[in-house]
Amino acid sequence: MSNKTLVLAAALLAATILGAPAVMAIESRIDAVTVYPRGADVTRLARVTLEPGANTVTLEGFPGNIDLDRASATVDDPKVELRFIRKDVREEREARDAEVRRLEAAIDEVNDSIEAIDDVIAAAELQLQFLEGLAQEYAGRESSRAAGGQADIASWQQAMDSIGSGAISALEKKRAGRKARREAEKDLSALERELASKRGRRAASTLLLISLQSPSALAAELRVTYFQPRAGWSSSYSAYLDSAASELRLTHEAQVSQTTSESWRNVALTLSSSNPGGRMQAPGQDSEFLDLLDPRLMERTAVALGGQAPRRLPQSMAMEEVVVAAASVTPNRYAAVYRATERADIANSADQEQSIPLAERRFGVALVTRAAPRQEARAYLTARFTLGSGTPLFGGTMRVFVDGAYAGLAELPDLLPGAEAVLPMGVDRQVEVLAMDQGGEKASEGFIASRNTELTDYLIEVVNRHSRASAVEVIDYYPVARDERIEVTVPRSATPPDEKDLDDRPGVLAWRKELGPGERWRIVHQYEVSYPRDTELTQSP
């Protein structure tokens, strides 16, 4: 007796037990797919003919890993009632020659390597978490010592260098792991395609037994939707700036890929930015308590642990330096839905992404050239606009073209309607910037309570070489003292900034000016720092 006969017999037995008068084995086809950033809902369509009363419909061709908890069925006739869905997985019996066994072994090996790569990535992430906790604890301890006049600057710098070196190593491992995983997934996809061609059919398939109650004899369309985890999409954009017209044309494409056991042919494609597998409610918030740490107790604890500082101390020994910290929340992305205008084919291959054009939008923009002269002697053009009503922009990579010339790659952030967008357009070579050190001075003052004083003095010069007026923004900073013994003052000869604490960043400054063609702009940037003579001044971001 053939396997198909056995499958039908099992379905017939189930129908008999359920009291259904007939069992129909029906082929289904993939009709529509909704792809999320991670995963996809696949909808199969079957045409069924129902008798009055109870019917059990058996659908063939579903993947072996289908999850009924995330599956649903609908009938286009509202008079038909859906009772339940059950599944039956059947292994396909076929000749297993040496080539098939070799391919299966190779697939197992690649899957094992992917698991090993995931372990390396997880270990690197754990190392980064450890280093972050260690840095916070060490910084808190040294801040307490500094407040008591016991700062050990050399030891602090050595510890930070060590932590920074460890973090760089962990990040390199993460990057290498992700690259290796992508390559392994490509190898896996190629092996699975080769195995499918050797076998001619999947290693396992699922039968769905669907119970329907019909008031009369009728024909209907039955749709079954189920989730496939090995799929996803990302946004990509091309930005075309016409600087003379101050207009930006933004084209939006989706890059869709999937490595499921199914090939999606001629499907109605929908792309959604929602995350159905993500968090469904806000996290809870526990109480937080502040304590002061006795440095001597920390030292005794380190000695008891063999010279190693503990990663996390008991709550009664913990120290929060400034304020009670709120819970860290990563918000879910907004939901935006895009529907492809034409039916699409998406191959089940990791190395075959399908580009789907989504939309084209035009914006009137304000062009602003921004420079940070003490960091880099180049200015950068930005296009700024407010996103109007309509579909949000789902963030992704962005190719930038300025006046027909390719400028480079950038990232477009997630933007909701009403949000202000500041998009990078690359280097503005027609605006020259220069920061000249005027020779800051160091001095000491006072006889008993002697203090050191350091003057920072820069002359910043900006020249507009455009044949048109250009809005220019220069950014820099005044250092912010975290110790009350440090005083930061600004001489009257300094050019006052137009904005302080730019983008809610303490101490960050902005000077703004509309420069005519050929106009030269000079900014005197000065500040003075005073601190006790018997201490050392350190600076960190």
Instruction: Report d(CA 379, CA 409) in Å as an integer.
Output: 17
For the entire predicted model, the pTM comes to 0.60
What is the signed CA dihedral for 412, 415, 420, 424, rounded to 10 degrees? 0
- What is the C-alpha separation between 327 and 284, in angstroms, rounded? 8
Q: b/e map of 459-474 (b: 16 or more CB within 10 Å)?
A: bbebbbebeeebbbbb
Q: What is the DSSP string of 144-195?
A: HHHHTT---HHHHHHHHHHHHHHHHHHHHHHHHHHHHHHHHHHHHHHHHHHH
Binning the chain into helix, strand and coil, the percentages to the nearest 5 are 25, 40, 35
Q: What is the pLDDT of residue 194?
A: 75
Per-position DSSP letters for 284-345, written without gaps between them:
P----------HHHHHHHHHHTTTPPPSS--GGG---SSSPPPPP--PPPPP-EEE-SS-EE
Give the Cβ contact number of residue 250 at 10 Å.
21
* Cβ atoms within 10 Å, residue 482: 13
User: H/E element holding 393?
Assistant: none
Please write down the HEC assignment for all residues of 400-422.
Answer: EEECCEEEEEEEECCECCCCEEE
Enter the DSSP assignment of 394: -
The reported pLDDT for the residue numbered 379 is 94
pLDDT at 101: 76
Strand partners, 370: 380, 473
Question: What letter represents residue 14's amino acid?
Answer: A
pLDDT number for residue 63: 80
From first to last of the 541 residues of the chain, give the pLDDT tens digit. Answer: 444 333 333 443 344 334 444 445 688 889 999 999 889 999 999 999 899 999 988 888 788 778 888 888 889 888 999 888 887 766 544 445 667 778 888 888 888 888 899 888 888 888 877 877 777 666 666 666 655 555 555 666 666 667 777 778 888 888 888 888 888 888 887 887 777 766 544 445 678 888 889 999 999 999 999 999 888 888 899 999 999 999 999 999 888 988 888 889 999 999 888 877 666 666 666 656 555 555 555 555 455 445 444 433 333 323 222 222 222 222 334 567 888 888 888 888 766 778 888 888 999 999 999 999 999 999 999 999 999 877 788 888 999 999 999 999 998 888 888 889 999 999 999 999 999 998 866 665 555 558 888 899 999 999 999 999 999 999 999 988 888 888 999 999 999 999 999 988 888 999 999 999 999 999 999 999 998 888 877 776 6
Q: Characterise 348 by phi-psi region: left (phi > 0), alpha (psi -120 to 50), beta (else).
A: beta
* Residue 405 neighbours by CB under 8 Å, 6+ apart: none
User: What pLDDT was estimated at residue 388?
Assistant: 85
The dihedrals phi and psi of 101, each to the nearest 5 degrees, come to: -65, -35
Rounded distance between C-alpha atoms, residue 198 and residue 192, angstroms? 10
- Residue 462 sits at the vertex; the CA angle it makes with 458 and 467, to the nearest 5 degrees, is 175
3-class SS letters over 97-124: CHHHHHHHHHHHHHHHHHHHHHHHHHHH
State how far the Cα of 48 lies from the Cα of 50, in Å rounded to an integer: 6
In the chain, how long is the greatest CA-to-CA distance? Answer: 106
CB within 8 Å of 209: residues ≥ 6 apart: 11, 14, 15, 56, 57, 58, 85, 86, 87, 88
DSSP H or E segment with residue 70: none
User: CA 55 → CA 85, 242, 498, 512, distances in Å?
Assistant: 12, 63, 76, 75
pLDDT of residue 392: 81
Pairing of strands 264-272, 29-35: parallel
CA angle 464, 470, 473 (to 5 degrees): 90
Cα distance between residue 334 and residue 313, in whole Å: 38
Q: What is the pLDDT of residue 308?
A: 46
